[in-house]
Copies of this chain bind each other. A is one copy, B any other.
């Protein structure tokens, strides 16, 4: 399948040491150097950081959640206001998901519980019905019934207008039997094909990535790669559970990655811890999205060149050094560990902003470093 004129993937270097590769994804809003980290801005903003600052810091791809934006302010409302890039004032690339992940993973109450304490009403939400047509669920905001179908998810993502979009898939439960997993995978494939067809009817300069499923079953994962590779997707995301621990995930990905088309970009959904990124880059993963680095920051867990650092640890109380003396982020250039320790103790909002700036810059710098290492066949 030839690349779209508005979306192109170029491999600059294939490591001689591993499957790791350095590339460039060209989108209508600029280039994404790969491998790269994709920060999550669920509601159209990273938590505690504004988008202009995030752009200045060099984040090349931002992940927004269709589920949240569909419910507030609404995808049609975003379209009316000029699309997501204009609405949230981000000139660089954006990727949105289908909304399915949140419906399946959060509708059980997690979002409701999170919001209950912030003055939101508590609706008995969750999945009402899954059928061939799609998934019927209740809005956590106002209890309204919403039918999410492959077609409606893509239309919502057309309204949002991200550079990369994702087809509707089903997130199978961990406890599922093999037979149920096969049925789920087959329906996911049908949903993805319907999503693709809706997209192709009006591409709007967007690229669409397939989502590889199959749970922890290697044969099903392989089948998913084969089935979806035969469709004209622009790239491949890997979704669902890959295993119970890092070793299982690594083993599954080692098996799965060679089955993906080499010449198209791939994306590992929802994985962003440092150990996973370091090891999975060697398998040829191009992009990783995760809320982990920003969430860690808000909980005072900071990333440094010598490992994780808990800012509330008592030995930071008197420490006038920055979080990381090798870091040139705004926070490390200006503030000491002792001050950050104090701000966290006092539960000041400023603490969350300063910590998030640091962890985000750490991720941007880390992935830049990995790209250089791959260029020199060091990983």
Contacts and interface: CB of A to CB of B under 8 A. Distances in A.
A320 interface: yes
B345 A72 contact: yes
A342 B50 contact: no
Interface stretch (A77-85, A173-181, A251-259): A77-85
A118 interface: yes
B347 A118 contact: yes
A249 interface: no
A376 interface: no
A82 B47 contact: no
Contact of A350 (B45, B72, B80, B335): B45
Interface in A205-260: none
A81 B339 CA distance: 9
Interface residues of A, number: 43
A162 interface: no
A67 to B, nearest CB: 12
Contacts of A89: 334-336, 339
A339 B88 CA distance: 6
Q: Report the copy number of this chain in the oligomer.
A: 2
A84 to B, nearest CB: 11
B80 A318 contact: yes
Nearest to A48: B349
A348 interface: yes
A348 B43 contact: yes
Interface string A62-82: 000000100011000100111
Interface string A250-287: 00000000000000000000000000000000000000
A190 interface: no
Contacts of A308: none
A203 to B, nearest CB: 26
Contact of A342 (B43, B345, B348): B43
Given A43-B343, A338-B87, A353 B48 contact: yes
A149 to B, nearest CB: 25
14 contacts: A43-B343, A44-B342, A44-B343, A49-B350, A50-B335, A52-B334, A68-B346, A72-B342, A72-B345, A73-B338, A73-B342, A82-B320, A89-B336, A349-B352
Interface of A: 43-52, 68, 72-73, 77, 80-82, 87-89, 115, 118, 317-318, 320, 330, 334-336, 338-339, 341-343, 345-350, 352-354
Given A45-B348, A51-B334, 4 more contacts: A43-B348, A50-B330, A72-B346, A82-B320
Shortest beta-carbon contacts, A-B, top 3: A43-B346, A48-B349, A45-B350
